[in-house]
Chains A and B, each alone.
Chain A
């Protein structure tokens, strides 16, 4: 059974840093692109960043470029999101997602989400 379990969320002050982790199981992690998607309270879904299966290429939305870093450790089957210089508008539930291999890259599995609150 595919499982994605996020951790590392919490309350953080503006300008500070936080690192999210996503432990994957039930599939060969190194074979899949992965992504982070977020959802601000009562708002819609917003793609944040993606990473190729080898970790050799990464992609970001403009609003997080230069502040967030997506990475992975294939030996540990873990995805990360390092978030620096956090802003109040980064407050959201962050979902770890697996991008499917044979479905136009659509995220086919999602974690339960982890809440990040940026506030003084």
Chain B
């Protein structure tokens, strides 16, 4: 199975700050990587697919990048509505695996 190591587990950041979350894949998954945001009591929302493509309706302050088997989600200017838990997901091969999640809070 492909392991997705996500870091950090939690972080606290201020409004307008730049935030970066990373996922390391245990093997090559190409661009088969998505990012999700989940708010308390809600279903996850797709933010990024194909490692770098912004999903419909997602603000442009969110962006994804890839360097080899390391993937990053960047929030360029943290807004009040951005706290939540962020997950990466590899869709390269079954069993599809999520990262453990990053809990993002406002400082």
Residues on A lying within 8 angstroms of B by beta carbon are 35, 44-47, 50, 59-62, 95, 100, 103-108, 110-113
A50 and B100 contact, CB distance less than 8 A: no
Interchain nearest-CB distance for A40 vs B (Å): 12
Closest 3 CB pairs of A and B: A106-B34, A103-B49, A110-B43
CA A108 to CA B101, docked complex, whole Å: 18
Report yes or no: A50 in contact with B49, Cβ–Cβ below 8 A: no
Contact across chains for A110 and B44 when beta carbons are under 8 A apart: yes
Closest to B33 in A: A104
Give B41-63 as 1s and 0s: 1 = Cβ < 8 Å from A's Cβ atoms. Answer: 00111100110010100000000
Q: Are A61 and B95 neighbours in the complex by a CB distance under 8 Å?
A: yes
**Is B46's CB under 8 angstroms from A107's CB?**
yes
User: Nearest Cβ in chain B — how far from A42, in angstroms?
Assistant: 11
**B98 partner, pick from A44, A50, A59, beta carbons under 8 A:** A44
Task: Flag whether B89 is at the interface (Cβ < 8 A).
Answer: yes
User: How far is it, in angstroms, between the C-alpha of A112 and the C-alpha of B32 when the chains are bound?
Assistant: 25
Chain B proximity of A120: nearest CB distance (Å) = 27
Chain B interface residues (CB < 8 Å from chain A): 31-34, 36, 38, 43-46, 49-50, 53, 55, 85, 87, 89, 91, 94-101
Name A59's closest neighbour in chain B (CB-CB). Answer: B94
User: Given A44-B101, A111-B43: A104 and B96 within 8 A (CB)?
Assistant: no
What residues on B are CB-neighbors of A105 within 8 Å?
32, 91
Q: How far is the CB of B71 from chain A (nearest CB, A)?
A: 12
Jot down 5 A-B pairs with beta carbons below 8 A, ordered by A.
Answer: A45-B36, A46-B98, A60-B95, A61-B94, A105-B32
From residue B26, how far is it (CB to closest CB) to chain A in Å? 16
Judging by beta carbons under 8 Å apart, are A104 and B91 in contact?
A: yes
Query: Does A112 lie within 8 Å of B34, measured CB to CB?
Result: no
A114 CB to nearest B CB, Å = 11
Is A106 touching B89 in the complex (CB atoms < 8 A)? Answer: yes
Q: Which residue of chain B has the shortest Cβ distance to A96 in the bound complex? A: B43
